[in-house]
Amino acid sequence: MKTPEQLQEGWVKFSRVPCVEGCIDVWYGDCAHNPNSEIKPQWNLNSFVVFIRLDGKGEWISGYRGVKSFVMEMGEVSTSQKIWDEISKYNE
């Protein structure tokens, strides 16, 4: 399994998981924070949430616990778009 790259854009630190083609970014943080916001709130709720985005662009969408492991495993044999399509079925 390939090791995800650790990146930062503004205040958002996230993991970029490589796939056969493309990548999926995974952010894990306090539920008071949203990686789509330009400014990080100064308070925490001490409860955590996961957000993901496709190929390093666009809006972050809500994910679920365990999605990073799922993407790392599936990324070895599938494209980011196919994985994204499967994950999106659970966000409808």
H/E element, 24:
strand 23-30
Per-position pLDDT tens, the chain of length 92: 788 999 999 999 999 999 999 999 999 999 999 999 999 999 999 999 999 999 999 999 999 889 999 999 999 999 999 999 999 887 76
CA dihedral in degrees (48, 69, 37, 13; nearest 10)? 100
